[in-house]
Amino acid sequence: MRQDLPVSTMGSGSELVRGLQERAASALPAEHVEEVEGWRLRRSPGCAWWTGTVLPHGPAGPDELAYRVARAERFYTGRGAAARFQISPGACPETLDTELADRGYRRLSSMSLQVASTARVLEKAYVGSLRVRLADRPDRAWFDTWHAVHGHGRETRAEWDLLGRVRLPCAYACAMIGDDVVAVGRAVADTGWAGVFGMATLAQARGKGAAREVLAALARWAGANEVGRMYLQVECANVPAVQLYERTGFRELCAYHYRTAD
């Protein structure tokens, strides 16, 4: 695949959204997964809750929808967890969001699924004075930096195990100030796309271009591996991150959210 593939050729609609969300699930592999007629039920004890949500991507008629939801609820209840559903427009049954709201599910975490061509990110991403090193697996310095920013309340062993379950080509980037890792991120290549995950910058390094240098390194890795398209998921409320991705060439493909049972 050409590195300079323009965003306009990436396609659109439900198939693209569904495909990217399923790639993201493969890059964040759950410990327990059960496939039910196109719906993927996932459970990851000790990890971020969104790695253990339902991907309800198979079609379901009005009568079947209630059965599917109840089936998912049994899966999570049997594992001591609340059911949570990822609601991506076009990728799940149209009436699912209403069905869950009627059942008392709360809406939370407005998210943005964003895409860019690898060439666009390379053009826009800042390359400054920081040294960035890449590896195909995480080391302790990468993990500790990520965990310092995002790991509060999570089980360290469970998060290490999640990274160990990834079976796709990966790049782990560390931006350095001297000998210290101050910002990290990872990319996972999957059938023509590189997903960006785990972006984290320590407080003392923010505003110095570290995150942009991490993105640039991940884009260079994607380009070197002939991966012409990139995607990421970001919380809409995380304004600095949204602005960073806008400056580096990403655009929103769709907004999505979650529904969770009490």
Does the residue 262 lie in any domain?
Answer: no
162, β-bridge pairs: none
Q: Say if 261 falls within a structural domain.
A: no
Of residues 103 and 7, more confidently modeled = 103
* 137 and 96 assigned to the same domain: no
Percent with pLDDT over 90 in the chain: 85
Domain boundary among 56, 90, 112: 112
How many domains does the structure of the chain reveal? 2
Q: What is the pLDDT of residue 162?
A: 97
Q: Is 178 exposed, middle or buried (0-12, 13-18, 19+ CB in 10 A)?
A: exposed
Res 8 pLDDT > 60: no
pLDDT tens digits for range 45-56: 999 999 999 999
Task: Report the percentage of the chain scoring pLDDT > 70.
Answer: 95
Look up the CATH number of the domain holding residue 238.
3.40.630.30
Average pLDDT taken over every residue of the chain: 92
Task: Tell whether 209 is covered by a domain.
Answer: yes
Q: Name the band, by pLDDT with cuts 50, 70 and 90, for residue 153.
A: confident
Mean pLDDT across 56-78: 93
CA angle, residues 214, 219, 223, in degrees to nearest 5: 150
Domain boundary among 83, 112, 141: 112
Q: Which domain holds residue 203?
A: 114-255
* Per-residue pLDDT at 4: 42
The model's pLDDT over 155-173, given as tens digits with 9 standing for 90+, comes to 899 999 999 999 999 999 9
Question: 87 and 135: one domain?
Answer: no
What tokens does 139 get? 């080391």
Domain edge (last residue) among 112, 130, 162? 112
* Structural domain includes residue 1: no
260 lies in a domain?
no
Kindly report the pTM of this predicted structure.
0.93
* Domain match, 56 and 17 both: yes
For residue 126, pLDDT over 80 is answered with no
Residues 177-206 pLDDT 10s: 999 999 999 999 999 999 999 999 999 999
